[in-house]
Amino acid sequence: MTELEPPTRRECQRCGRREAWDDDATNWTIRDDAQTGEPFCIHEWDITGTYRPIRG
């Protein structure tokens, strides 16, 4: 059976903002160790690279 694995972290390629998925809030949150980036940036998230969304 094939299963999708969503990303757990992401980084904006424009401003450097880093976020992590919060299961309790069911939403993306700014990482505690990375208070960088612009809140009003139209973020381009880098979730590719080594990320593999399909488990097989």
| Arithmetic mean of pLDDT, 8-34 | 83
Is residue 39 within 8 A of residue 56, CB to CB? The reply is no
Looking at every residue in the chain, the average pLDDT score rounds to: 77
Which whole-number Å values give the CA distances from 4 to 26, 35, 51, 56, in the listed order? 17, 29, 12, 9
Model confidence at 50: pLDDT above 80: no
Residue ranges per structural domain of the chain: 1-56
pLDDT at 24: 92
